[in-house]
Amino acid sequence: MDKIIIQGGRKLAGEVPVSGAKNAALPILVSALLTEGTNTFRNIPNLVDIKTARRLLHNLGVRTEGNGTVRVDATGITSCEAPYDLVKTMRASILVLGPLVARMGQARVSLPGGCAIGARPVNLHIKALEEMGAEIRLEEGYIDARARRLRGARIYFDLSTVTGTENIMMAATLAEGTTILQNAAKEPEVVNLADVLIGMGARIAGAGTDVITIEGVPRLHPVEASVIPDRIEAGTFLIAAGMTGGEVRLTGCEPDHLDALIVKLRETGMTIDVEANGIQALGTRRIASVDVKTLPYPGFPTDLQAQIMAMMTLGQGFSLIAETVFENRFMHVSELLRMGADIDIQGNRAVVRGVPRLLGAPVMATDLRASASLVLAGLAAEGRTDVSRVYHLDRGYESMEKKFAALGADIKREKA
C-alpha cells in the first residue's frame, strides 16, 4: 500500500487551486438517475470516492464518461441494486435509494453497517421514505424498498442529516404532491444539489434553510451543471498554512462557505484576507489556542475537526474540542500522541494542551479526515513522518501530496 513521506518543518508558500467538492459531486452524479438523457457535470474531482460512485452507477446500467467534466446517462437502468461490496467502501452509496424508488418504483440497497467514525445509521432515510408511501423491508442486510409512486409528505428529521436530506429531496422531486422537509440540513452541498435538480425541472424552494419544500413533477430532464469548490479541502490548506507559519493563497474557492473556520483561524492569530473567489492566509509565530465545537452547517464542520486539533497541538495554551456530530471521531488522537502531542479525551471532548513541537513518526489512520490531520502534523513536525493507509486520503483529496509539494513542502508518495 502507498505511503506519504514527509520531512517536516518547511513553511508553506504559494498558491493552491481548490478542487470540486466531493460531498457535492457524489449526490450530483447520482441525481442523474432521475432523468433520461445525458447530463453534463463539471468540476467533478478526481477521487477514489468518485470512481466508486461511478462503479455503483455502472452496476445499475448507467453510462458515465469523461473526467473533470463527466457525462452521465441513466436512460437504460438495468438494475436497482446497490451491492454490499460497494456500499461498505462508501456509505454515500445510500444516495441511490431515493432516486431509484422515485424513478423505478423499487430499490435494493445494502445497509452500510458499522464504520470507523461511529454507528452512522440510515434510519432517518428509511423512515422518511416510508412516510412517502414506500414499503420497506429489511432482509439479508439489504433495504428493499418499493412504491408505485411516492407521495408528498411532511417530514421532520430528528437530527440534521446531510445525505438524508439529499436522498429524500431527490425522491420528492418525482413524487405526487408536495413534500416539506423540516429540520433539513443546510450544508452548501445540499444547496448545490437543489440547484442541479431545479435545472432538471424540479420545483424546490428553501434549500439552504431548515425547511425545504418540493413540489413533485412527473419527469425531469437532463442538465448541464457545476460542482461547488470543496470547503473541506480549502479548510485543510488554510490550517496547513497556520501550522507551518506559512503564506498561502487559495484560488477558486467559496470563502462564504468557510466562515466558521475563518473566525477560528483569526482567533489563533492568523491573518486571513477574503477575496471574491480566493483566500489569502498568513500564519503566525505563536498559535493561540482556541475552543471548537462541531455542529451542522453553518457551525464548525466535523470534517475539519481532526485538522484543527492537529493545529491546536501546537497552540499556546489549552483548547477544548467538542465533537457533537459523530460519536467516536477521535481516531487521530492516538496517532497525534505518538508525535508528541498532549491530548486527553473525555467522552466526546478532547482537551488539547499545546506543546512547543511535534516529532515525526510512522503513523496511520482509519478515516479520511483523520489521515489529513496526520499529514498536517507531519508538515509541521521536526523530522520524518510516514503516513500509511493513504487510500483514505485518496478517497477525498485530489493529489494532496502534489498540491503540498507545489507549496514547498518536502512530501512524496512511495508506491507500494
Residues that bind ligand UD1 (CB under 6 A): 23, 26, 91-92, 118, 120-125, 159, 161-164, 189, 302-303, 325-326
Cβ atoms 313, 343 nearer than 8 A: yes
By beta-carbon proximity to ligand UD1, the closer residue of 222 and 396 is 396
Joined grid coordinates for residue 243 = 501550522
| Sequence-distant (≥ 6) Cβ neighbours of residue 63 within 8 angstroms | 71, 72, 73, 74
Joined grid coordinates for residue 153 = 409528505
By beta-carbon proximity to ligand UD1, the closer residue of 54 and 413 is 54
Catalytic residue among 13, 104, 111, 115: 115
CA–CA dist 304, 105 (Å, integer): 38
| Sequence-distant (≥ 6) Cβ neighbours of residue 172 within 8 angstroms | 102, 132, 150, 152, 179, 181, 214, 216
The DSSP string of 209-255 is BSEEEEE--S-B---EEEPPB-HHHHHHHHHHHHHTT-EEEEES--G
**N-to-C CA span, the chain:** 5
The DSSP string of 7-45 is E--PPPEEEEEPPBPHHHHHHHHHHGGGBSSEEEEES--
Rounded least distance, CB 197 to ligand UD1, Å: 16
By beta-carbon proximity to ligand UD1, the closer residue of 5 and 292 is 292
By beta-carbon proximity to ligand UD1, the closer residue of 13 and 136 is 136
CA–CA dist 274, 262 (Å, integer): 9
Rounded least distance, CB 92 to ligand UD1, Å: 4
By beta-carbon proximity to ligand UD1, the closer residue of 164 and 315 is 164
Rounded least distance, CB 58 to ligand UD1, Å: 19
Rounded least distance, CB 165 to ligand UD1, Å: 8
Q: SS3 for 388?
A: strand
Q: Cβ-count burial of 11 within 10 angstroms (0-12 exposed, 13-18 middle, 19+ buried)?
A: middle
Cβ atoms 254, 229 nearer than 8 A: yes
Helix or strand run (H / E) with residue 396: helix 391-396
By beta-carbon proximity to ligand UD1, the closer residue of 95 and 339 is 95
DSSP bridge partners of 385: 6
Cα 90 to Cα 62, 195, 383: the distances in Å are 18, 24, 34
Rounded least distance, CB 329 to ligand UD1, Å: 8
Q: Is 80 a catalytic residue?
A: no
Rounded least distance, CB 119 to ligand UD1, Å: 6
CA–CA dist 305, 109 (Å, integer): 30
CA–CA dist 162, 372 (Å, integer): 22
CA–CA dist 292, 321 (Å, integer): 5
Residue type for 77, please? Answer: I
By beta-carbon proximity to ligand UD1, the closer residue of 6 and 87 is 87
Catalytic residue numbers? 115
